Structure 1
Amino acid sequence: MSLPEEDLTCPVCCDIFTDPVLLSCSHSFCRSCVKRCWETGLRECPVCRKRAGSKFNPPSNLALRNVCASLLQVRSQAPVAQEEKTNCGLHGERLKLFCLVDKQPICVVCQSSKLHKTHDCSPIEEAVLDCKDELAISLKILQEKVEVLTRIQQTSAEMSKYIKSQAMETQSLIRSQFEQLRRVLWEEESARLAAVKQEEEEKIAGIKDKLKELSAEVLSLTETISVVHEQLKEDDMVLLKNFQATQDRSESNVLGSDNMSGLLIDVTNHLCNLKYRVWEKMLDHIDYTPVTLDPNTAHPCLILSDNLTSLHYSKQPSCCPDNPERFHISAEVVAMSPLGSGSHHWVVETGSNQDWLLGVVSLSVPRNGEVSARPENGFWTLCFRHGEFRAMTSPPTPLTLSKAPRQIKVQLDYDKGTVSFVDPADNTVLCAFTHTFTETLLPYFYTQSSHPLRIMPEKVLVTMLRQ
């Protein structure tokens, strides 16, 4: 049976015995270690401090020397790689400890050195178990990160396809709207060209009528001149007898109007501020809404109109990516218009919709969790559900209204810190919130009804600035 390696280690040098000697107290040491200790003048055992014998050269411990020699021989014959794994690279000793500070296996000599003397250590066996537990936890975390990255990778691939679909649909809608504008311009151009053509025909027809009138007058005058010439050739008595009739005929040839003004085309009427007048007329064909919905935030069950001004609920969710801006839990959407300093308002037609929330929310409200629509959570809203209007305070406040408005006007005065809900039919204030706003707000919409909520357009007025 082989001895433990600790029993073959010199207590002085902490290494395998070299030429071991046996003192009278039965403790063994390397001969060179004992000699070095006794050079101080005290001939005693370095372990138990018992005085040694009078002999300066203690006897060799042959049995121990043979065992140590066998151990060193086995070590020398062991594979170098295995020795490097289990032995200290500095001292050649077995790595039996684990430094908890430096996270490295060390030998007993390393533990006594300055580098590790003050460090906490644990046995290799315990350290292996602890390290395995830590690595198992790290492995789980890494696997979870891989799963998250895999989901992100998959979402990114889906987003790439969705972006292409978005681009094609957006381009199609842009072309459609420009086509409508071009159609209006073409119709306006055609109408104005037709007006010029019509005036041209009317003016030419007037000139022709004037020419006919002038030709008739010239012919009449020519005939009268002929008659006068003939009378002048007659006898005096004949001239006198016909004088009155000739004179009356001469005087009856009265010239028509020689006024030639107004016969040309009124170019100024057709060209004066033409572009401005066309643009002003085009405003009748253009809708302006102060709030536009952001489709990238809409819950998959919300269907938005092409012009992004109305929404309704569908039980069949649309295929859209799981992007961070999107509401994932309930049928919510916000507008893309950030609301900061100043006053803002918009009107929403609720119509037959019996399940909705309208108002404003903080920019930072969570999009991937269920949050109650309360002011402390960044929501200032009016709710209509089960035939009852409620101001979404904490707790909600039921409202008693004489009639249910078909439209709701949302008014925000950011600087004064007020959010009001008004019936635009008679400007009755339904409810109001007061709060000191410190964060950017967004128009907010929620519905679980198939009947649409529609943001109403506003009339565009043109004003002229004169300097």
Structure 2
Amino acid sequence: MSLPVDDLECPVCCDIFIDPVLLSCSHSFCRECVKRCWETSGSRECPMCRKRASKASPTTNLALRNLCETVQVARRESSSSEKEKEKEKELNCDLHGEKLKLFCLVDKQPICLVCHMSKTHKNHDCSTLEEAVIDCRGELSTTLTSLQEKMDSLKIIHSNSNDTIDYIKNQAIGTRQEIKAQFERLHHVLHREESERLAALKREEDQKISGMRDKVSEISEEMLSLEESFNFLESELNAEDMALLQNFKGTRERCSSLPLGPVTMSGTLIDVSKHLGNLKYSIWENMNHHIEYTPVTLDPNTAHPYLILSDDLTSLYYSGLSYGCPDNPERFQMSAEVVGTNALGSGSHHWIVETGSNRDWLLGVTSVSAPRNVVISARPENGFWTLCYRGGEFRAMTSPPTTLSLATEAPISRIKVQLDYNKGTLCFFDGSGYDRLLYTFESTFTEMVLPYFYTHSQHPLRILPESVMVTALRKEGSAQVV
């Protein structure tokens, strides 16, 4: 005969008794439950009937404890038995109830012998469960390794992405500062131009006003003289006849000496057209003396980490230390290279590079698709057309390189690179003032190219600025400035 489970539950925790105790009022509780109730209420009362317990330490209810322990053991055995049945059920086929003994290699699932003879799996290759476990574990281990590699790769990308965010912020700060600095220099030029023009206007204003004041003073003196002559002549007209005749000769001579005709005042106004005529164009033309145009601008996002570029992106040198740039796909990673910003795909272009004391450089062009993350020779077959200076020798980087015999008294400190894309020629000249041809590449370019620079020297290579020419074209009643 078994008791209902409810009779074996503690009224406080509503679970099967653990170390039950019996109070004097015949109610039973878990020892810990009644202890907590007494600590909370501050009095030793039965949690059910509120009758005061006669003992500070209640007596253990041995019979109830043994019965509860028996129920707990029975529950654990029942649970273990259920688990065994479930496990055994999992080892049997759901369709036929037979024990699973084979593994279908086509459907990737365990099957029984009946399944193997059925239409579903009749012609499928199978293996034993032991072999399948080894194969599946191996495949899953390989997948796990692949996933781990992907996870490691993603962690690196995640870290690099955060570093790239910081780099972008630093790029923005540096670019913003350079923009402000260049505008400050332009503002200074404009302010100086404005001051000079206002000063010129002020000088002309003072000069014209001073001249007019002198003229006004001169006219005032003449007016005073005329007024005196007028009064004298009027008095003579009112004199006696004999007196008028006696004084006529002197009066006539006095009146003939007076200025006749209107006073002319030409050129007295400010020459406004001189100050305002084509003012914006004149200012812009004068600004050209303070503005430099560089035909090639270096792309810092392609520069090798050991290269240092100038703030205006017109010079580079090798530092030997990485400045912490991100590993972006556009960047050269294997050698100290950098390319220009604008791709060239037609027309004629040229730029002059000041090499100075640099004794280790390559200059020329490279195709836009040339690889940047592998070691590769700078040769035409790899998409590079370059002139090299190393070890005191000039070499055209053909296949194999062509050593150039250059008889020159003074060292070549400037190289002029001239590209005619449509004709397929790339020429190198001595840009030190002699304009002497050093070498010409002839090629049929199949894609756009970029100006290319390499150096392994701490002496900078600098792209020289060129002057800007302004020409006015006049056409049938209209003028166009280019």
Sort the TM-score into its range (normalised by shorter chain): 0.7 to 0.9
Structure 1 window deviating more from structure 2 (178-187 vs 384-393): it is 178-187
Q: Hey, what does 2:109 align to over in structure 1? A: 104
Alpha-carbon distance in 1 for matches of 2:287, 2:83: 96
Equivalent residue for 2:134, pick from 120, 126, 129: 129
Q: Hey, what does 1:283 align to over in structure 2? A: 288
Q: Hey, what does 2:466 align to over in structure 1? A: 458
Alpha-carbon distance in 1 for matches of 2:93, 2:436: 87
Q: Do structure 1's residue 211 and structure 2's residue 219 form an aligned pair?
A: no
Deviations 1:166-220 (A, max 9, x none): 1111111111112222222222222222222221111111101111221222233
User: 1:230: how far off?
Assistant: 5.6
Q: Is the 8 A contact 1:217 1:255 kept in 2?
A: no
> Percent identity between the aligned chains?
60
Equivalent residue for 2:412, pick from 405, 430, 440: 405
Q: Hey, what does 1:414 align to over in structure 2? A: 421
Structure 2 counterparts to residues 42-441 of structure 1, below 5 A:
79-229=84-234, 244-255=249-260, 258-403=263-408, 404-424=411-431, 425-441=433-449
Alpha-carbon distance in 1 for matches of 2:422, 2:91: 73
Deviations 1:222-281 (A, max 9, x none): 344455456666777776676555444333333598221211111122111212221222
* 3-state SS, counterpart of residue 94 of structure 1: coil
Alpha-carbon distance in 1 for matches of 2:204, 2:278: 19
User: 1:453: how far off?
Assistant: 1.0
- 1:400 to 1:115, Cα distance in 2 relative to 1, 3 A: same
* 3-state SS, counterpart of residue 288 of structure 2: helix
- 1:352 to 1:78, Cα distance in 2 relative to 1, 3 A: closer
Gaps of 5+ in 2: 1-80
Alpha-carbon distance in 2 for matches of 1:204, 1:132: 104
User: 1:306: how far off?
Assistant: 0.9
Alpha-carbon distance in 1 for matches of 2:105, 2:427: 63
- 1:108 to 1:166, Cα distance in 2 relative to 1, 3 A: same
Alpha-carbon distance in 2 for matches of 1:398, 1:381: 13
Q: What one-letter code is carried by the residue in structure 2 that aligns with 1:295?
A: P
Q: Is the 8 A contact 1:297 1:327 kept in 2?
A: yes
* 3-state SS, counterpart of residue 381 of structure 2: helix
Aligned length: 392
- 1:261 to 1:398, Cα distance in 2 relative to 1, 3 A: same
Q: Hey, what does 1:56 align to over in structure 2? A: none
* 3-state SS, counterpart of residue 158 of structure 1: helix
TM-score (norm. length: structure 2): 0.76
User: 1:152: how far off?
Assistant: 0.5
Q: Hey, what does 2:75 align to over in structure 1? A: none
* 3-state SS, counterpart of residue 312 of structure 1: strand
Alpha-carbon distance in 2 for matches of 1:81, 1:457: 85
Deviations 1:125-162 (A, max 9, x none): 22222222222222222211111111100000001111
Q: What one-letter code is carried by the residue in structure 2 that aligns with 1:423?
A: D
- 1:102 to 1:191, Cα distance in 2 relative to 1, 3 A: same
Deviations 1:332-351 (A, max 9, x none): 11111111122222221111
Q: What one-letter code is carried by the residue in structure 1 that aligns with 2:434?
A: D
Alpha-carbon distance in 1 for matches of 2:92, 2:357: 84
* 3-state SS, counterpart of residue 139 of structure 1: helix
User: 1:390: how far off?
Assistant: 0.7
